[in-house]
Amino acid sequence: MLDLSIFMHAVSHSNDGISITDVNQPDHPLIFVNKAFEKITGYSSEEAINRNCRFLQGNQKKQRNIEVIREAIKNGKSCVVTLRNYRKDGSLFWNELSIYPEYDTQGKLTYYIGILKDVTDRVERDQILLNERKSFHETKARLENLIIHDSLTGIYNRLHFETQLNESWQCLTNNQGTLSLMMVDIDYFKLYNDTYGHIAGDNALKQVASALTSSMIRDTDFTARYGGEEFIVLTTDMTMQQAINMGQTLCANVRNLNISHKGSPVKFLTVSCGIANVTQNSSSNPSLLLQHADQALYMAKANGRNQAKIYN
């Protein structure tokens, strides 16, 4: 058997802090710490011995991993946790603590051996990587949002509408139902910009976009800015009359904004709406559906604006 002094020499020169806790004494005090423990914590052995090692936690005694330690000690098990600990000078260090139970020959739990590792550098590196990863995902999400949303109004843009139209058309092809497309254009908008300025024009676009979006009553309803002062609405499973009613509602909701427009015959901002409605059995296609909605919009404009017309 090796001489005990050799073991003590090894413990003394370990780079890891080593402590021994007596579980048979009240409050489980430390009864031994090595030189590395003193170096890591800043506490001398005289200052540490006869104290429960929780003194290293400072005022951070509600850490999640503390409960892991308590449960392990309660059940006489080992565990490895990482804790926020504080040196004698008050500085924070991250302590990877491993604890191991020791039993006597009768199988009674007598001591816990603790191995302390200062892993502050590792934790800080991990935190930097975590922050960088979080920043990357946030940036990615913002970019993805910009790709599909109009930067001024915040609603979907034309590119995303075209994707949505193709997907909706595929669903129409595979299932029974209808698809309705509504093109909405602000009446006399160039004159509005010339009269009130482009800042007011941008604000009007935002308000109209909000009014159209608020008019959507189902998860399947979709609205986007098609370009300039033109918006587009896509919805499914509507009869021709329901589509007309919805187009009229869109026009009414914009009128109800009561945005002054002295260049308009009615003296406030209005929109015109062109509607195209197709069923599964139609010989139409997405491009033709857009063309029909545009033709219906032209009819609404030619008929005096501030109204909805359906292609038939």
Angle at 105 between CA 104 and CA 110, to 5 degrees: 10
- Alpha carbons 20 and 23: distance in angstroms, whole number: 9
8 A C-beta contact, residue 300 and residue 293: no
8 A C-beta contact, residue 131 and residue 107: no
- Is 67 among the residues known to form the active site? no
Of 67, 144, 162, 229, catalytic: 229
- Alpha carbons 33 and 16: distance in angstroms, whole number: 11
* Segment (H or E) for 48: helix 45-48
**Where do we find the tokens 């997907």?**
167
Q: What is the DSSP letter of 77?
A: -
Q: What is the DSSP letter of 178?
A: E
Active-site residue numbers? 229
